[in-house]
Chain A
Amino acid sequence: MTFAFEAEGLVKRYGKTVALAGIDLAGRQGSVLGVLGPNGAGKTTAVRILATLLRPDEGRASVGGLDVVRQAAKVRRMIGLTGQYASVDEDLTGLENLILIGQLLDLRRPDAKARATELLADFGLAEAGGRPAKTYSGGMRRRLDLAASLVGRPDVIYLDEPTTGLDPVKRDDVWTIIRSLVADGVTVLLTTQYLEEADALADDISVIDHGKVIANGSPAELKRIVGGQTVLARPADPARLDDAAAILAAVAGRPADSPSRGVVAVPVTGDAAFTEIVRRLADTGVAVTELSLRLPSLDEVFFTLTGRHTEEDAA
């Protein structure tokens, strides 16, 4: 298996505070590695080391086989970085920001301008390109930031909490962009506090807490750790919700819950229950527009692994 980036045993201390306590991370070529953890878990520190911004106290990290400390200059030609806060210049226009990055990546000015124009169009910023970035909305700024990290066509992109503070629609925009990058063969390291986000985008997830990896695996594998599944049904006719709830409750042997409007859900053990529910729904003529057997949410995974919910701070 080829890894686009790898980190082994990274340790970073700030005085007595241990930010990283020996972390291993690896991103498969062309995949998304989700690094999931609460505030202060060490996500940003790990990204900064992989992005050559910080030297590890112990351990080593490489991008495309190049050491991030000893071959930092070469690594910088391969990576793109988008931080938690928009790392664009507020006083420059969108176009000027991207041209500057292009010139710093050794593009001639006309080439830098062509690349900037192209990216602005890709990110729905063509009209706003001539305005200073400080006039942009939060979502536009984040898109410009993403565009800025793509000017050099990096092989590896680090996205450090790219959707923090965005509303759901803007977040979906960013997700769409990330998916298209991966479709293009780029390897992505995505840090997030949102379990939903890691679930939606990541091929592999490393859960970190207090500077250590506490679990590794695909989203499905991680969710399986918690055990159990959930059957979810949405009757076509909302009036039949109670009938559907009765069937679910009867098969599962416990009361059904309504997690959102027009939907009933019940925890089950094993997929035999699912088949039984499908049969009984058909027998009683309850048509459904949605019927699924789901794994638990990643929040439950985190709770199982650490005994804490992700909302509680690491302190």
Chain B
Amino acid sequence: MTQTSQQPRTTVTRSVVARSPERPFALVRHSLALGRRSLIKTLRTPEQLLDVTLQPIIFTLVYVYLLGGAVAGSTHDYLQFLLPAILVQTVLFGGMATGVNLNTDIGKGVFDRFRSLPIGRSAPLIGSVLGDLIRYVVATVSLMTTGFVLGFRIQTDPLSALLACLLVITFAFCLSWIFVLVGMLVREPGGVQGIAFLVLFPLTFGTSMIAPKETLPSWLQAWVNVNPVSHVMEASRALMTGGAAGAHVAWSLGFSALLLAVFAPLAVRAYRRRS
């Protein structure tokens, strides 16, 4: 091992750069630097992206070919109905890993180092959430590609479809603070995953994603009507296949802001307390 034969020099230089000056926008800079860390880590172990790459393909195939004929009379019509909505489920599931990874990460020594540095307490959490945006992008690309291969066609225009994707990612980013909070409160990564599933199931399946709302029992329709994710799915459908998007987009953005405002501070507080 040649690398171990290098001897450290006996003097440790303390002179080249003066002690760091105070600079503005510290939280933004620190969060971006930590987001970059998170991104590098993901790109260096690409198998971490396997779930967000394969899951959309599998789910889409299963739904379209198992339910397409029964629900919509043809797999093609069903694909037009399903895809903009399953996009939401796919991207939201992609955010679960943020909580699981953070739960594992904060037990490691490197988080002790972050805590001992003069940075905002929220910076390591914001950094992780920002870095995981790559997962949403990969999930979106994988799902849309699968859709196009199977015959999905955008009936509006490419810009609206892009806006739909951005809206879904924005909502997922805000919702993922719930997973961050769970990651801070639960001891084991496995527990984080379990609770995250419990949160996501009613949110994503209690919608008109798989079948039209009118076909659902009335108690379920009541939940679908108040479920924030319904609005994101309807906004995505309207932006990709036509219809009035305005109200659904507004509701989606409103719920995004609410989720962020409630769960980001709670997650940071839980992080501070956990040590």
Extra A-B contacts (14), CB below 8 Å, given A111-B17, A139-B4: A76-B117, A83-B113, A84-B109, A87-B109, A87-B110, A87-B112, A88-B113, A106-B26, A115-B17, A122-B11, A128-B3, A137-B3, A140-B3, A184-B12
B218 on interface, CB distance cutoff 8 Å: no
Does B37 contact A173, Cβ atoms closer than 8 Å? no
Does A152 contact B20, Cβ atoms closer than 8 Å? yes
**Which residues of A line the B interface, CB within 8 A?**
48, 51-54, 73-74, 76-77, 79-81, 83-89, 91-92, 96, 100-108, 111, 114-115, 118-119, 121-128, 132, 136-137, 139-140, 143, 145, 148-150, 152-153, 170, 173, 176-177, 179-181, 183-184
A136 to chain B, nearest CB (A): 7
Q: Which of B27-35, B76-84, B238-246 contacts A (4 or more CB under 8 A)?
A: B27-35
B12 CB contacts on chain A under 8 angstroms: 119, 122-123, 150, 177, 180-181, 184
Does A92 contact B3, Cβ atoms closer than 8 Å? no
With contacts A77-B118, A106-B21, A152-B20 known, is A83 near B112, CB below 8 A? yes
CA gap between A139 and B36 in the complex, in Å: 27
Nearest B residue to A145, CB-CB: B109
CA gap between A110 and B85 in the complex, in Å: 45
- A-B contact list, 14 entries, CB within 8 Å: A54-B275, A87-B112, A88-B113, A89-B37, A96-B37, A100-B34, A102-B20, A103-B30, A106-B118, A122-B13, A137-B3, A137-B4, A148-B113, A152-B20
Does A103 contact B29, Cβ atoms closer than 8 Å? yes
Does A81 contact B4, Cβ atoms closer than 8 Å? no
Does B22 contact A106, Cβ atoms closer than 8 Å? yes
Does A79 contact B10, Cβ atoms closer than 8 Å? no
Nearest B residue to A133, CB-CB: B110
Does A101 contact B113, Cβ atoms closer than 8 Å? yes
A145 CB contacts on chain B under 8 angstroms: 109
Nearest B residue to A91, CB-CB: B41
Q: Which residues of B (1-57) have their CB < 8 Å from a CB of A? A: 1, 3-4, 6-14, 16-17, 19-23, 26, 29-30, 33-34, 36-37, 40-41, 44-45
Does B21 contact A92, Cβ atoms closer than 8 Å? no
B116 on interface, CB distance cutoff 8 Å: yes
B33 CB contacts on chain A under 8 angstroms: 100, 103-104
Please tell me which one of the listed residues A84, A123, A153 contacts residue B14 in the complex, with CB atoms under 8 A apart.
A153
CA gap between A123 and B13 in the complex, in Å: 10
Does A123 contact B119, Cβ atoms closer than 8 Å? no
Nearest A residue to B6, CB-CB: A124
B23 CB contacts on chain A under 8 angstroms: 106, 108
Q: Mark B256-275, 1 if CB is under 8 A from A, else 0.
A: 00000000000000000001
Does B13 contact A87, Cβ atoms closer than 8 Å? no
A119 CB contacts on chain B under 8 angstroms: 12-13
Does A85 contact B109, Cβ atoms closer than 8 Å? yes
**From B6, B7, B123, residue with most partner A Cβ within 10 Å:** B6
Does B26 contact A124, Cβ atoms closer than 8 Å? no
CA gap between A173 and B29 in the complex, in Å: 35
Does A180 contact B37, Cβ atoms closer than 8 Å? no
Q: Mark B102-122, 1 if CB is under 8 A from A, else 0.
A: 000000111011111111000
Does B3 contact A86, Cβ atoms closer than 8 Å? no
Does A180 contact B10, Cβ atoms closer than 8 Å? yes
Please tell me which one of the listed residues B6, B29, B115, B119 contacts residue A53 in the complex, with CB atoms under 8 A apart.
B115
CA gap between A106 and B12 in the complex, in Å: 21
Please tell me which one of the listed residues B1, B9, B16, B117 contacts residue A104 in the complex, with CB atoms under 8 A apart.
B117
Nearest A residue to B7, CB-CB: A124
A176 CB contacts on chain B under 8 angstroms: 8, 10
A134 to chain B, nearest CB (A): 10
Nearest B residue to A124, CB-CB: B6
CA gap between A74 and B22 in the complex, in Å: 12
Does A104 contact B114, Cβ atoms closer than 8 Å? yes
Does A83 contact B109, Cβ atoms closer than 8 Å? yes
A101 CB contacts on chain B under 8 angstroms: 113, 117
CA gap between A86 and B6 in the complex, in Å: 19
Nearest B residue to A108, CB-CB: B23
CA gap between A92 and B3 in the complex, in Å: 17
Please tell me which one of the listed residues A52, A137, A150 contacts residue B116 in the complex, with CB atoms under 8 A apart.
A52
B45 CB contacts on chain A under 8 angstroms: 91
A143 CB contacts on chain B under 8 angstroms: 8
CA gap between A106 and B37 in the complex, in Å: 16
Does A51 contact B116, Cβ atoms closer than 8 Å? yes
A51 to chain B, nearest CB (A): 5
CA gap between A249 and B109 in the complex, in Å: 53
CA gap between A139 and B6 in the complex, in Å: 11
B110 CB contacts on chain A under 8 angstroms: 87-89
